[in-house]
Amino acid sequence: MTYLILRLATLGNVAMTVPVVASLSKRYPNDRFIFAAKKDLASMFASMPNVQFMEVDNHLDWRGVFALWRDLRDKIDAVIDLQDVLRTRILRGLMRLSGKKVTSVRYGRWRKHLITLFGIGKKQLPSEFNRYRDAFRRAGLETNDAFEALPVNGTAAQVVVERFGKKEGRWIGLAPFAKSRSNMLPYRVTKDIIELLTTDPDTRVFLFGAGQVECEMLRQWASVFPRTESVAGQLKLKEELELMRQLDVMICMDSANQHLSSLVGLRAISVWCATHPMIGFAGWKQREEDIIQRHDLRCRPCTCHGTSHCRYGNFACREINAETIVQQI
């Protein structure tokens, strides 16, 4: 059978599907999976021979939905929607009218929002991985937890060696940014972390990020601190993953880099500010003791994915000492 898997956005969410899709790829070698997502993410699925990556516009409008339906309706047997938004619901409906078997993920959005709005039912929710696995199970596909890391990409690994040299001492990654202000540390705390790490002459720090503003800020920070280098905007995704594979640890926020680290078996110290791992977005097989957050704030979590506003106006959840993070390393 041929299955269409929909997870159009974003980088972190697509990365969270990889352990589950890798399990499917091995368990069902005679089936074919078409994974539809935003462009430039194909390298995460390149090692799966029966998974075809299909680039789809992240801002797909109704014309694009109909075009996708016309293009795929005779090529697939079933649809598994891991996005569950309006445009994928329309596509699901068209595929169902075409006689295709359709299943979708159950995100439990109402329960998540009750927690963030009123603190109702504050307990661990199912992880996104389990929600994906449940969607595949209802489509008749079983998965397991065997995934540890993507295979080494030899070409990309060679690029990393040529660019950064052979690893000596301790290499530490730092991804200080997130899409929302509520999900990242104040800049002064981030700079304190870099300063503390670079006091050790055997430590080399690599700064990760994306976007024009982030790249420029990280470039400036790298020029100030010794043995610090910004790789933001400098590497392809497959090369970035191979650099992560060489690191001893990654310091990141509740952001995509937490999940990219998991894809190469890298231990990630993740910092959670306004969000909370109880919502279900913790990284694949990451350790609970490596999650850093403030437990003394009753207002957390106040958001599922991030926000630019604080109901109290002080973003107290972001006030985490640099020493606390470095001590965990």
Q: Is residue 145 part of a domain?
A: no
* 112 and 225 part of one domain: no
* 103 and 196 part of one domain: no
Q: What is the widest separation between alpha-carbon atoms in the chain?
A: 64
How many domains does the chain fold into? 2
Q: Is residue 252 part of a domain?
A: yes
Alpha-carbon distance of 13 to 72, in angstroms, equals: 23
Summarised one tens digit per residue, pLDDT across range 52-70 is 999 998 777 888 899 999 9
* 164 and 37 part of one domain: no
Q: Is residue 231 part of a domain?
A: yes
Q: Which of 90, 96, 49 shows the shortest CA–CA distance to 77?
A: 96
- Answer yes or no: is pLDDT of 183 > 90: yes
Q: Please report the pLDDT score of residue 48 as a whole number.
A: 97
Q: Is residue 13 part of a domain?
A: yes
Q: Is residue 144 part of a domain?
A: no
> Backbone phi, then psi, for 254, in 5-degree steps?
-75, 85
Structure pTM?
0.94
Average pLDDT over residues 269-273: 97
Q: Please report the pLDDT score of residue 119 as a whole number.
A: 77
Q: Please report the pLDDT score of residue 64 as a whole number.
A: 87
* 207 and 86 part of one domain: no
* 223 and 317 part of one domain: yes
* 201 and 88 part of one domain: no
* 245 and 177 part of one domain: yes
Distance of CA 178 to the CA centre of its chain: 11
Strand partners, 249: 172
Average pLDDT over residues 266-294: 96
- Answer yes or no: is pLDDT of 250 > 90: yes
CB within 8 A of 223, min separation 6: which ones? Answer: none
Burial class (CB in 10 A: 0-12, 13-18, 19+), 224: exposed
What CATH number does the domain containing 231 carry?
Answer: 3.40.50.2000
Domain coverage including residue 127: 2-138
**Domain end position, chosen among 84, 109, 138:** 138
**Domain end position, chosen among 138, 172, 196:** 138
**Domain end position, chosen among 138, 163, 197:** 138
In whole angstroms, how far apart are CA 230 and each of 167, 187, 198, 205, 249?
A: 16, 16, 14, 8, 16
Q: Which of 183, 187, 251, 189 shows the shortest CA–CA distance to 213?
A: 187
Alpha-carbon distance of 210 to 297, in angstroms, equals: 30
> Backbone phi, then psi, for 2, in 5-degree steps?
-115, 125
